[in-house]
Amino acid sequence: MTPEAAPSDGPAPGAPLVRLDDVSKHYGNIRALERVSLEVHAGEITCVLGDNGAGKSTLIKIIAGLHQHDAGTLSIEGEETRLASPREALDKGIATVYQDLAVVPLMPVWRNFFLGSEPTKGAGPFRRLDTELMRSTTRAELLRMGIDLRDVDQPIGTLSGGERQCVAIARAVHFGARVLVLDEPTAALGVKQSGVVLKYVAAARDAGLGVVLITHNPHHAYLVGDRFVLLKRGAMSGSHTRDGITLDELTRQMAGGSELDDLRHELQR
């Protein structure tokens, strides 16, 4: 087959990997999301910011295939779709790393790296896990992301929170994710560990993935973000590109903007 006849391997240059247009989700009379739009591009980080109850979790569940939207459109690589399950989202290249990470603390790092996707060798009654391949692959993939663990045989529960997040990111990259959704990866971490995680979030971006970073910390978002979507009570309160907003203004909008000014006046009185 000539190069001219080769099929397309992805969306047109500049087209978003994932796009939401006016997506809404209701649970009975409760409005979880109302007309939310965002784009996720390859090699970019889209940050979704909001306080508790802003709708961030619902947004994650729609992109991850856990819940279906009630209105609006969800497009993956230009094709409108409605994800029926997390497995379908994974098959379409969308990997979600939740805050609890869903790891087995007493299992070694390499076993958690391949959890649910373990390679085997041999046939019939001699079929068994290919532990050598899993160990070497885990070590190589972590090193490729710049993660140098002391020993991939140590229980993953002995790693710091930041190291566990980094293993989860490397795992998603290895298994072919094109879009990586991160649910508050720095929420329970100190300054140094947060910096480590953000470094590997940036590494995933530099590897060509489209990243959705869910956070309530505008300083973390501004360190790595290319696009910023602000949610408030299920609705969008702002959408900006990096060159269109400063950290001070992003922080102000995240903190409530005019509402914060009103509160300041009340407290001064």
Q: Give per-residue pLDDT as tens, 118-172.
A: 888 888 888 888 899 999 999 998 888 888 887 899 999 998 888 888 898 888 8
Query: Structural domain boundaries of the chain?
Result: 12-102+177-268
Please tell me the least confidently modeled range out of 7-11, 76-80, 150-154, 245-249: 7-11
Give the pLDDT confidence score for residue 20 in this predicted structure.
94
Beta bridge partners, 94, equal: 179
Q: By C-alpha distance, which of 187, 178, 210, 254 is closest to 38?
A: 210
Q: By C-alpha distance, which of 158, 117, 156, 153 is closest to 136?
A: 153
Superfamily for the 12-102+177-268 domain: P-loop containing nucleotide triphosphate hydrolases (3.40.50.300)
CA 263 to chain centre: 34
> Rounded to an integer, what distance in angstroms lies between the CA atom of residue 184 and that of residue 207?
21
| Whether pTM exceeds 0.75 | yes
Beta-strand ranges (E) seen in 125-226 are: 128-129, 179-183, 210-215
Rounded to the nearest 10 degrees, how much is the dihedral formed by the CA atoms of 71, 77, 81, 83? -100
> Rounded to an integer, what distance in angstroms lies between the CA atom of residue 59 and that of residue 19?
12
